Amino acid sequence: MATALISRRARALRGSTTVPGDKSLSHRALILGALAVGETRIDGLLESEDVLGTAKAVAQLGAEVRRDGAGTWRVWGRGVGGLNEPAGVLDMGNSGTAARLLMGVVATHPLTATFAGDASLSERPMERVMAPLRQMGARFTTRSGGRLPITVSGARHPIPIVYELPVASAQVKSAVLLAGLNTPGATTVVEPQPTRDHSERLLAHFGAETTIETLRSGGRRITVTGQPELAGHAVDVPGDISSAAFPLVAALLVPGSAVTLEGVGVNPLRAGLIDTLDEMGASIVLRNRRQVSGEPVADLVARASRLRGVVVPARRAPTMIDEYPVLAMAAACARGTTRLEGVGELRVKESDRLAAIARGLRAAGVTVEETQYSLTIVGAGGAPKGGARVAVHLDHRIAMAFAVLGMVAEKPITVDDADTIASSFPGFVALMNRLGGALTVASGRQPATRSPKPARRRGGRRTSPAKTRKAGKPGKAKKPKRRARRRGGRR
Ligand code: S3P
């Protein structure tokens, strides 16, 4: 039985906090660490189920992985082309990023590996990565519809390709670039719309030869030169803007709030939510801008604001793709109508997010219109009714988005599965409550509530850090016991 989460109207949110490390960068730091020679030290690693799955998988592929303390991990890689065939199945849990990026890595190693995932991931499209990787010489055996579990037989003699992305997807781009690492010659990805460029930045950080050309169309052409010697590097992972989005939007919506989110990654290809909220009239100030491991970082200061509806153009979608669920909650409280255009990709995320948002908002008394590629939300101009029970379908961001809506709605909102939040944001409930939220876990069993750096109320002290788990042994990256996942296809 999943643990339900009840979110009630909150008093003003106040305080200053960090949020857990960036998920995209955490996966990539572990993967590149595994492909580098020597030690990679990662600070601020997101210790969520998704990322712990990647740590375990790279250990199964032969890297040595050790946890030194909260968020501090070390990886000793095997060098490009040096990974081993894993003895067991690689369990990707709920993570599309882990599955697709690691399929790219394995595709050009002469080994066979089987990838599996939970009920949500087993319904997600994988042909988008298999198509280019087949051109590079990899072979795949899949369940019907090209779904997981998938067995990959990597190419013995990989072929470099030039691949134009048919969908704006950083995961597909990254899978091809990672496959290109162990491919002689130049592997090129052309993206019609720029997507998050963490792979490119981190590849350069680890010493790979990459070139990035901006096209007249606004797209990009990214080339990696194969078979480099990558050297282990230190990586400092900034806070995840996709996680910061939840306390940020909550602070805008709950009257009287003022919240600072420290050390958040503000890569322009991830920060579309801030631009959109800005257009909606939000008070968000970026302070103390700096660079951390080649990524722009800032502290975000958000104050309660009266928001108005806007049109969010399709071209912005790649820069805020994971933030639409929480943006929809802001739109539900805004004055006027908000239209989200060109968001068809949301139908193939951890759940069909357009359907899940529309169903949940309607249940909370909000008028929503849904097409295959867009969503129109009629804002309540204040607190929506609420009083809904929302099914989250193994989707962490749907769970957190509706928890945010419950903080402002007239009546409480219950999300039916709080456990799934551990995929990306361990400590979410505790962090929101420290800021002044009123979230309760229905069964009395707490979901993962550890946060790397706990919140402190303004002017107050940080609460004492959660006890760190014991450091594991090299090559034995153990993740905490997974909760039992419900079975059955995605609705
Ligand atoms: C990610 C890319 C995005 C995003 C996902 C993380 C990444 O997926 O939704 O949460 O780390 O590359 P797509 O590439 O499918 O758009």
Quote the tokens at residue 78.
């095997």
* 246 and 353 within one domain: yes
* 271 and 198 within one domain: no
- pLDDT for 1 equals 76
Q: What is the mean pLDDT of residues 407-425?
A: 98
Q: Give the ligand 1 atom nearest the CA of 345.
A: 16
* 397 and 360 within one domain: yes
- The Å distance, Cα 171 to ligand 1 centre, comes to 5
- Is residue 450 one of the residues assigned to a domain? no
Active site residues per annotation: 322
- Is residue 405 one of the residues assigned to a domain? yes
Using CA atoms, how far apart are residues 410 and 414, in angstroms rounded to an integer?
A: 13
Using CA atoms, how far apart are residues 303 and 469, in angstroms rounded to an integer?
A: 35
Using CA atoms, how far apart are residues 296 and 22, in angstroms rounded to an integer?
A: 12
pLDDT in tens, 306-335: 999 999 999 999 999 999 999 999 999 999
* 122 and 215 within one domain: yes
- Is residue 172 one of the residues assigned to a domain? yes
- pLDDT for 452 equals 37
**Mean pLDDT over each residue of the chain, to the nearest integer:** 92
Using CA atoms, how far apart are residues 110 and 488, in angstroms rounded to an integer?
A: 34
Using CA atoms, how far apart are residues 133 and 156, in angstroms rounded to an integer?
A: 13
Residue 124's domain comprises: 23-231
Residue with the smallest CA separation from ligand 1 atom 15 is 169
Q: What is the mean pLDDT of residues 184-211?
A: 98
Residue with the smallest CA separation from ligand 1 atom 13 is 169
170 in contact with ligand 1, CB cutoff 6 A: yes
- Is residue 273 one of the residues assigned to a domain? yes
What is the strand order of the sheet 258-265 is part of?
14-18, 258-265, 295-303, 283-292
DSSP letters, 83-104, are: PPPPSS-EE-TT-HHHHHHHHH
Q: Give the ligand 1 atom nearest the CA of 348.
A: 15
- pLDDT for 447 equals 45
Using CA atoms, how far apart are residues 377 and 340, in angstroms rounded to an integer?
A: 8
Provide the domain count of the chain: 2
- pLDDT for 419 equals 97
Beta strand pairing status for 112-116 and 147-153? antiparallel
End-to-end CA distance of the chain: 18
- Is residue 480 one of the residues assigned to a domain? no
- pLDDT for 297 equals 98
97 in contact with ligand 1, CB cutoff 6 A: yes
* 221 and 137 within one domain: yes
Q: Considering the chain, what percentage of its residues have pLDDT values greater than 90?
A: 89
* 271 and 333 within one domain: yes
Q: Which helix (H) or strand (E) holds 301?
A: strand 295-303
Using CA atoms, how far apart are residues 85 and 293, in angstroms rounded to an integer?
A: 31
- The Å distance, Cα 97 to ligand 1 centre, comes to 6
pLDDT in tens, 455-488: 444 333 233 323 322 333 333 444 434 333 333 3
* 213 and 99 within one domain: yes
- pLDDT for 384 equals 98
**Cβ contact 245:20 at 8 Å:** no
Phi, psi of 18, rounded to the nearest 5 degrees: -95, 165
Using CA atoms, how far apart are residues 31 and 19, in angstroms rounded to an integer?
A: 22
Residue 204 has pLDDT above 70, yes or no: yes
- Is residue 487 one of the residues assigned to a domain? no
Residue 194 has pLDDT above 50, yes or no: yes
- Is residue 28 one of the residues assigned to a domain? yes
24 in contact with ligand 1, CB cutoff 6 A: yes
Quote the tokens at residue 427.
């400590």
CATH number of the domain encompassing residue 17:
3.65.10.10
- The Å distance, Cα 320 to ligand 1 centre, comes to 10
Strand partners, 264: 239, 298
Domain final position from 210, 231, 252: 231
- Is residue 448 one of the residues assigned to a domain? no
| Amino acid symbol at 135 | Q
Grouping H, G, I as helix, E, B as strand and the rest as coil, residue 17 is strand
Residue with the smallest CA separation from ligand 1 atom 5 is 97
**Cβ contact 406:131 at 8 Å:** no
pLDDT in tens, 13-68: 999 999 999 999 999 999 999 999 999 999 999 999 999 999 999 999 999 999 99
Grouping H, G, I as helix, E, B as strand and the rest as coil, residue 407 is coil
pLDDT-derived band at 71 (thresholds 50, 70, 90) equals very high
- The Å distance, Cα 148 to ligand 1 centre, comes to 18
* 196 and 137 within one domain: yes
Domain final position from 441, 456, 471: 441
Strand partners, 224: 187, 210
The model carries a pTM of 0.92
322 in contact with ligand 1, CB cutoff 6 A: yes
* 281 and 224 within one domain: no
pLDDT in tens, 138-157: 999 999 999 999 999 999 99
Torsion over CA of 406, 411, 415 and 421, rounded to 10 degrees?
A: 20
DSSP letters, 339-399, are: EE-S-GGGGGSSS-HHHHHHHHHHHTT-EEEE-SS-EEEE--SS---B--EE--TT-HHHH
* 409 and 273 within one domain: yes
* 263 and 189 within one domain: no
Quote the tokens at residue 35.
């492909």
**Cβ contact 59:477 at 8 Å:** yes
What is the strand order of the sheet 72-76 is part of?
64-69, 72-76, 39-43, 234-236
Phi, psi of 365, rounded to the nearest 5 degrees: 90, 20
- The Å distance, Cα 54 to ligand 1 centre, comes to 15
* 28 and 10 within one domain: no
321 in contact with ligand 1, CB cutoff 6 A: yes
Q: Which is higher by pLDDT, 317 or 452?
A: 317
Domain final position from 441, 464, 480: 441
**Alpha carbon distances (Å) from 85 to 96, 116, 154, 219, 298:** 21, 16, 10, 36, 41
